[in-house]
């Protein structure tokens, strides 16, 4: 079994499909997408087309929650998702697309020989542009204070040690400043999620963190940013 991890896809799986054809993946493998997958964005047939394409990869896909997508519990999705147990944690799934698994924030999944803690969500720096032009924006894109408190409690109960952390954005001090939008006053950006993740990595021992959101491929210490790149993890190498 191989574990593949990649970043935001925003509903475009063309390059991913080509890559996986070369890799000759199988249904025994697992793909993890670090948020902004792009299959719960419009809430209509366009999402169904994206789900069809993603499912055609032929392997389970664990989707971390980004900021540019609805939560599976969003009323706009008309209760399509149900909660199931998967790899020691709970995920949301649609009966129509059983291989597309949506991680719950704060859940821990045992895949291969290791544990993955999921912390999704981020702030949309283009929030006001989206609202002004009528593009989708989701008010619950970030974690609530209650959700953050529950994650802190879960981590403490786990002994303040994590193996792999899967997040959408990154810790505050790891923000890739070269990806900041020129001319955008950073004082206007809500960095709640980045500060929360900084608090987490400062308070726990962890082996590695993977994050998307920033549309870059780079490694900064133990934090791996993924966008176009697909990183392959074999259980014995984690």
Q: What are the domain boundaries of the chain?
A: 3-237
Domain spanning 3-237: CATH superfamily: Metallo-dependent phosphatases (3.60.21.10)
Phi, psi torsion values for 6, nearest 5 degrees: -145, 175
Sign of CA dihedral 173, 236, 17, 116: negative
DSSP SS3 for 163: strand
pLDDT tens per residue, range 107-159: 999 998 889 999 999 999 999 999 999 999 999 999 999 999 999 999 999 99
Partner residues linked to 92 by β-bridges: 83, 102
Nearest to 142, CA basis, from 155, 125, 164, 129: 125
pLDDT tens per residue, range 34-92: 999 999 999 999 999 999 999 999 999 999 999 999 999 999 999 999 999 999 999 99
pTM for this structure? Answer: 0.96
Question: Is residue 221 pLDDT above 50, yes or no?
Answer: yes
List the structure tokens of 17: 């499909």
Quote the pLDDT of residue 35.
97
Chain centroid to Cα 160, Å, comes to 21
């Amino acid at each position: 079994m191989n574990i593949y991890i990649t970043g935001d896809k925003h509903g475009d799986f063309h390059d991913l499909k080509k890559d996986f054809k070369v890799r000759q993946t199988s249904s025994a493998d697992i793909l993890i997408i670090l948020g902004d997958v792009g299959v719960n964005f419009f809430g209509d047939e366009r999402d169904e087309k994206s789900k069809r394409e993603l499912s055609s990869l032929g392997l389970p896909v664990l989707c971390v929650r980004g900021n540019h997508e609805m939560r599976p519990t969003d009323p706009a999705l008309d209760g399509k998702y149900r909660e199931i147990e998967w790899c020691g944690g709970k995920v949301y799934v649609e009966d129509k697309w059983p291989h597309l698994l949506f991680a719950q924030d704060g859940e821990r999944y045992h895949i291969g020989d290791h544990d993955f803690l999921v912390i999704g969500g981020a702030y949309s720096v283009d929030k006001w542009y989206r609202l002004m032009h009528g593009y989708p924006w989701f008010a619950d894109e970030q974690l609530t204070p209650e959700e953050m408190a529950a994650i802190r409690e879960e981590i403490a109960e786990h002994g303040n040690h994590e193996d792999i952390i899967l997040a959408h954005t990154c810790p505050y001090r790891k923000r890739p400043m070269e990806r900041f939008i020129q001319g955008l006053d950073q004082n206007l950006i809500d960095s709640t999620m980045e500060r929360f993740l900084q608090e987490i990595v400062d308070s726990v021992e962890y082996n590695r963190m993977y994050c998307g959101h920033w549309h870059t491929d780079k490694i900064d210490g133990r934090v791996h940013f993924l966008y176009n790149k697909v990183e392959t993890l074999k259980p014995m190498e984690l």
